[in-house]
Amino acid sequence: MSAPANDSQDYVGFDTITQQMERKFLKRGFNFNVILVGESGMGKSTLVNSIFSSHLVDSQGRRTAQEVIRKTTEISPVTQTLEENGVRVRLTIIDTPGFGDQCNNEGCWVPVIKYIKDQHAAYLERELKPQRDRVINDTRVHACLYFLNPGSRGLRPLDVEVLKRLTEVTNVIPVIAKSDSMTVEERTAFKRRIKEELVFHRIAVYPYPSEEDCDEDRALNSSIRDLVPFAVVGSEEIIDVNGTPVRGRRHGWGVINIFDETHSDFVHLRNFMLRTHLSDLIEVTSQRHYEQFRTSQLRQIKELRAQQAAAAASGGIMGSMPQQVPPQVPAVHQPMA
């Protein structure tokens, strides 16, 4: 109720831990890894460049007729260091060119899931080393922006398959880029339909409800959940609207300002991802997805060791020690489609 004043003798001073942590954080900086999953031409690169207000990634779409259509999904991570007010972030954007672009898209999600699991595996391997680094370079994917097709009557079969698998390994945030093709009514109907289908198919998108949340957090989370999927418009152009520079798109019938809340959910998405839930995204990746992965991996190793011990015992070969299985985690981890 009444905290002792800073100068009084009863003041202990452990509340300065927040500043101590901040200083440490400033020194160290942090990693933030985002993967973009969606077909070519959905607006992935433009959206990311708009969110971080800088040209981070180039569009990997096919630009000339001579370019060949990619046969598989490629994984192309791009890492850059951004700094704002002394805070440094090592931002890695992982693009997935080729995803969903072929006639036959069976299995186009396999390279994506494999990449995400590989990052978990690499982290686990470093954790299990007898001599660990003080700070392990965190390459785990903290957020996945999944791009939905505007105009479809809901989730497409491909979306359902991929989302089911993605939500098991990372935080998935569904977005509709290029939402300037939908009127407000269409947008509302589409969002409602998507939410229905997500519930029906039992696909859990971020943010997840948690018992730890206080009322404030719960209110914020529910307002975020209402907005899902975020209907956004991205733009790398600054256009002039009556003298003021505006980041947006100019059409013959009007000008879209991406920061205008009535025009798009861009502001909400950016605030949600960076201003309010950034640390939560990183934490949830570590506590939920990584832990799930770790549990399943260690269980597999245990089973493998038990099998080998049983085999050695029943085989009865003289003088052979039960095989020591070093914690080679990546060897056990199989990419499960």
Partner 1 sequence: MKPNATGIQKKKMQGYVGFSNYPNQVHRRSVKRGFNFTLMVVGESGIGKSTLINTLFDSKIFPDREETPPSAEPIKGVDVTSMSADIQENGVKLRLTVVDTPGFGDSINNEDAWQPILENIESRFDAYLAQENRVNRSKISDNRIDAVIYFIKPTGHCLRAIDIEFMKRLHTKVNLIPIVAKADTLTARELELFKAKIMADINYHGIQIFKPVSDEFDDPETVSDNREILSKIPFAVIGSEKLVERPDGTMVRGRRYPWGIIEVENEEHNDFIKLRQMLLRSHMEELKDSTDMVLYENYRTQKLLSMGHVQDNNVFREFNPLVLLEEERRAHEAKMQKMEAEMTAVFQQKVQEKESKLKLSEEELYARHKEMKTVLEKQRAELDDKKKRAEASVRPITPMEQHPTKGKKKNIFSGF
Residue 141 exposed, middle or buried by CB count within 10 Å (0-12, 13-18, 19+): buried
- Is residue 69 near partner 1 by the rule CB under 8 A? yes
- Is residue 250 near partner 1 by the rule CB under 8 A? yes
CA 116 vs. chain centroid, Å, equals 10
CA dist 191 and 266 (Å) reads 15
CA dist 286 and 272 (Å) reads 19
Shortest Cβ distance from residue 148 to partner 1 (Å)? Answer: 11
**Which residue among 9, 19, 85, 104 contacts partner 1 (CB under 8 A)?**
104
At 154, list the tokens: 């809901």
Shortest Cβ distance from residue 213 to partner 1 (Å)? Answer: 28
Going residue by residue from 24 to 53, which x/- string records binding to partner 1, judged by CB under 8 A? Answer: ---------------xxxx-----------
**Which residue among 117, 263, 270, 289 contacts partner 1 (CB under 8 A)?**
263
> In terms of Cα–Cα distance, which of 134, 26, 18, 143 is closest to 88?
26
A 10 A CB-CB count for 274 gives 15
Shortest Cβ distance from residue 314 to partner 1 (Å)? Answer: 44
95 versus 161: smaller Cβ distance to partner 1? 161
**Which residue among 12, 14, 19, 63 contacts partner 1 (CB under 8 A)?**
63
- Is residue 236 near partner 1 by the rule CB under 8 A? no
Q: Which residues 117-156 are close enough to bind partner 1 by CB under 8 A?
A: 149, 151-156
- Is residue 253 near partner 1 by the rule CB under 8 A? yes
Residue type, 300: Q
- Is residue 59 near partner 1 by the rule CB under 8 A? yes
Q: Give 138's contacts (C-beta < 8 A, 6+ positions apart).
A: 30, 31, 33, 123, 282
Angle between helices 110-128 and 157-169 in degrees, nearest 10: 0
- Is residue 219 near partner 1 by the rule CB under 8 A? no
Between the CA atoms of 279, 284, 290 and 294, what dihedral angle is there, to the nearest 10 degrees? Answer: 130
- Is residue 102 near partner 1 by the rule CB under 8 A? yes
For 162-196, give one letter per residue: b (16+ CB within 10 A) or e. bbebbbbbbbbbbbbbbbbebeeeebeebbeebbe
- Is residue 18 near partner 1 by the rule CB under 8 A? no
Shortest Cβ distance from residue 103 to partner 1 (Å)? Answer: 5
39 versus 138: smaller Cβ distance to partner 1? 39
Could you tell me the end-to-end alpha-carbon distance of the chain, in angstroms, rounded to an integer?
55
- Is residue 183 near partner 1 by the rule CB under 8 A? yes
**Which residue among 4, 86, 254, 335 contacts partner 1 (CB under 8 A)?**
254
> Using an 8 Å Cβ cutoff, are 206 and 281 in contact?
yes
* Region near partner 1 per CB under 8 A, out of 10-18, 251-259, 282-290, 299-307: 251-259
Q: Which residues bind partner 1 (CB under 8 A)?
A: 39-42, 59, 61-67, 69, 101-106, 149, 151-158, 160-161, 178, 180-181, 183-184, 196-197, 200-201, 249-257, 260, 262-263
